[in-house]
Amino acid sequence: MADDRFPGWHGTTILAVRRGGKVVVAGDGQVSVGQTVMKGTARKVRRLNPGGRDVVVGFAGSTADAFTLLERLEKKLESAPGQLQRACVDLAKDWRMDKYLRNLEAMLIVTDGRELYVVTGAGDVLEPEHDVAAIGSGGNFALAAARGLLEGDGDAETVARKAMAIAADICVYTNGNLTVEIIGA
């Protein structure tokens, strides 16, 4: 069922690929409203540094909602240093249970280079299979492309960039202006 509060909002593709001791999170820069591209250079992948430990987060959905979730995640990480899974589960619980938070329209990919999760407002904290995760309008295209490219020899960044290029060629809500963050285990 479509959400009438956000008619025609489409947005992004975020992809995470783990290979060779590294995780690459790539996000495109397109923000669309209906059939109109509103911005082509949005930055939807961010590096957090709670307690001196790097965590990379990519988000799809409403920007304001995503930033609210990023702030909450950062607080969870500060209260549970080095426990990414616990912080993600606590965020998902709050997101699902809190009257205000449960209305937020976003999804997150979160990694510290060792662990990799997709976090949703439905209370999901998912560890992806096959060392690839993707969210957003072009997420399924990027996921399929990355899984196929992992059959070859490319490193995580090469796979992510090629898969995002494929998604951008297929999905009208995805462009080739990438933000790429790399984090090692």
95-134 tens-digit pLDDT: 888 877 877 888 999 999 999 999 988 889 999 999 999 9
Whether 73 and 115 have beta carbons less than 8 Å apart is answered as no
Q: What is the pLDDT of residue 24?
A: 98
pLDDT for the residue numbered 61 = 85
Question: So what's the pLDDT on residue 152?
Answer: 95
pTM: 0.91
Q: Which residues are annotated as a binding site for Na(+)?
A: 168, 171, 174
Indicate whether 50 pLDDT > 80: no
Beta strands in the chain (DSSP E): 9-10, 13-19, 22-27, 31-33, 36-39, 45-48, 55-61, 106-111, 116-120, 125-126, 132-136, 179-184
Four-residue CA torsion sign, 33, 38, 44, 50: negative
Rg (CA), the chain: 15
- Domains of the chain, by residue range, sit at 9-184
Catalytically annotated residues? 12
More confident residue, 142 or 31: 142
What is the secondary structure of 91-117 as a DSSP string?
HHHHHHH-TTGGG--EEEEEE-SS-EE
Cα 27 → chain centroid:
7
The structure tokens 């540094």 sit at 49
Tokens of 65: 């909602």
Q: What average pLDDT does the segment 9-23 reach? A: 88
d(CA 10, CA 34): 7
Residues annotated within a binding site: 168, 171, 174
Q: In this structure, are residues 50 and 77 in contact, taking their beta carbons and an 8 Å threshold?
A: yes
- The fold of the 9-184 domain, in CATH, is Glutamine Phosphoribosylpyrophosphate, subunit 1, domain 1 (3.60.20)
Q: Say what the pLDDT of residue 84 is.
A: 95
Residue predicted with more confidence, 2 or 139: 139
166 pLDDT higher than 90: yes
